[in-house]
Amino acid sequence: MIEENSVVELKRCVCEFAAPSLGRFGEKIYAGFMERNGFSIYPVHSQRIDFHVNGVGDVDVKTSGIGKRRANPVRINNINYCFIILNKEDIEIAHEDWTGRIIMPSYRISWAQAAEFYRDNRIHMENHETPVTAQNQKIKRELKEWIERNWDKKASVIFREGRSTQENMTTGARPWGPVNFHTKLNSRKIIDIKVLIYFDCGVVWRLLAYPINKIDEIVWYPSRLNSDHITFDPGVISRQFIFADIEDFRTNFLLRFPDA
């Protein structure tokens, strides 16, 4: 049984949480609530998906601080959203799909219940890698090592999973791509090449890459989600930076960019 002073202390801590901690708090409550209500829930924490819930689908959890306005995220097709709304007296849990349609009844739980979920060590919030993601990590690591071994160059290699999610990001009035494809100024003297691998079910369906000395040939602009982050439009990036797969990249990158 959760004591009243524990609930008061939890509320005090939540009020002091920075955004990342507040987000993790909401995710833990969500996982505990859904599990308690008989749903099978699997952590994802990738590609703007926090969980996969059987019977619900892919879910992105958005948490609003006590007394704060409900989050209003940029929605992505085929991702459902759970809004954790922290009130002084209770906590509301509301589900909507990417169109804003309500897909489940709204629930309210007490802060005592939330405290139980938050402290329940049976619910693990760490990033659990699926076998496919682990394989993708291996491919990423091996390509980075191959570039250094064969070309004597330092590369930063990142990847994204889920073709439909990535393609949906290129639609709308202001398309955007993964923000860490942009190389910050303090990293440009450390690496020579930036690589972005797109996977879908473990298969490479596209690869983007540029030598650091060509970074200014890509059109960059502030992300609509966070103006401190720099993004680009994968749909209009120059053909010279596009490769069909890893083999195409290995064969043609230095032919296109001999001064990389």
**Digit-coded pLDDT (tens) for 217-230:** 999 998 766 677 88
How do residues 78-114 score in pLDDT, each as one tens digit?
899 999 999 989 999 999 999 999 999 999 999 988 8
The model's pTM is 0.57
Mean pLDDT, residues 182-205: 92
Sequence spans of domains, the chain? 4-119, 131-256
Alpha helices in 70-203 (DSSP H): 111-119, 131-151, 163-168
Mean pLDDT, residues 20-33: 86
Residue 40 C-alpha from the chain's centroid: 21
Tell whether the model's pLDDT for residue 5 goes beyond 60: no
Q: Are 212 and 182 in contact (CB under 8 A)?
A: no
Percent of the chain with pLDDT over 90: 46
How do residues 60-72 score in pLDDT, each as one tens digit?
999 998 878 888 8
For residue 61, the model assigns a pLDDT of 94
With bands split at pLDDT 50, 70 and 90, how would you rate the model's confidence at 121?
Answer: very low
For residue 1, the model assigns a pLDDT of 40
For residue 16, the model assigns a pLDDT of 73
Between 17 and 91, the higher pLDDT residue: 91
How do residues 73-87 score in pLDDT, each as one tens digit?
888 888 999 999 999
Please report, in angstroms and rounded to a whole number, the separation of the first and last CA atoms in the chain.
63
> Please, what is the average pLDDT of the chain?
86
